[in-house]
């Protein structure tokens, strides 16, 4: 009796979930990625006894090695372009120093090239003057991450973005390696010693 009722119950659950998604606002559904859809379907795996994992899909946890994966940024339509894992971070001092530096770049390389803003103490946004793209820099406790917001950034934006981010990486290099400062007193130390140089490859123009 239980087995005969099981398909009916599954159908009812499926239609219930479908009905809920029909009322979700468009701006929320846009945030759904392939990874999130897999989580929504995972509920059914145990019932039907099959596994949706794709052996060629790096987003499946059993195969993920953290390399060559195109990661979405924190906002819809943004793309992660830099991740610098931190070994230690004095969050308050680092965020203040870097935020002041970034806020001072609004006229680089031309007057009014960028408009800087802060949504919270852990994030600085630099919006380009032609509105084709923005740089979003976040200071998390375990990493500094940089996203690009804009699906069709102009060539001029990409050129100026590269200049801004290479300058920012220069500042991080100074913080991590330069000066007569003990490791325990530095605002930032890195998990990988070459993380900054790897980041330069990601933002090189041309």
Write out the two tokens for 57.
């899909």
Query: Residue 72: what pLDDT?
Result: 67
pLDDT digits (tens, 9 = 90+) for 110-148: 999 999 998 777 899 999 999 999 999 999 989 999 999
Model confidence, pTM: 0.64
Residue with the larger pLDDT of the pair 25 and 82: 82
In this prediction, residue 62 carries a pLDDT of: 40
**Is a pLDDT exceeding 50 seen at residue 155?**
yes
H or E element at residue 100: helix 91-103
Both tokens assigned to 115? 């408009």
User: Which domains can be identified in the chain, with CATH numbers?
Assistant: 2-48 (no CATH), 78-203 (3.30.310)
- Assign residue 179 a region (left: φ > 0; alpha: ψ between -120 and 50; beta: otherwise): left
């Amino acid at each position: 009796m239980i087995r005969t009722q099981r398909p009916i119950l599954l159908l009812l659950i499926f239609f219930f979930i479908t009905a809920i998604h029909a009322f979700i606002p468009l701006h929320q559904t846009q945030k759904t990625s392939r990874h999130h859809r897999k989580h929504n379907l995972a509920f059914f795996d145990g019932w039907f006894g099959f596994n949706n994992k794709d052996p060629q899909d790096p987003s499946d946890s059993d195969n993920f090695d953290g390399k060559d994966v195109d990661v979405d940024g924190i906002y819809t339509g943004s793309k992660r372009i830099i991740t610098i894992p931190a070994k230690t971070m004095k969050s308050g001092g680092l965020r203040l120093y870097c935020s002041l530096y970034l806020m001072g770049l609004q006229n680089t390389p031309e007057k009014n090239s960028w408009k800087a803003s802060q949504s919270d103490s852990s994030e600085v946004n630099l919006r380009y003057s032609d509105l084709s793209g923005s740089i979003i820099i976040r200071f998390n406790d375990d990493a500094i991450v940089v996203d690009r917001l804009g699906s069709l950034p102009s060539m001029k934006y990409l050129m100026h973005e590269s200049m801004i981010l290479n300058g920012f990486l220069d500042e991080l290099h100074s913080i991590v390696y330069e000066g007569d400062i003990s490791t325990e007193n530095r605002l930032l130390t890195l998990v990988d010693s070459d993380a900054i140089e790897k980041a330069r490859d990601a933002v090189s123009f041309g």
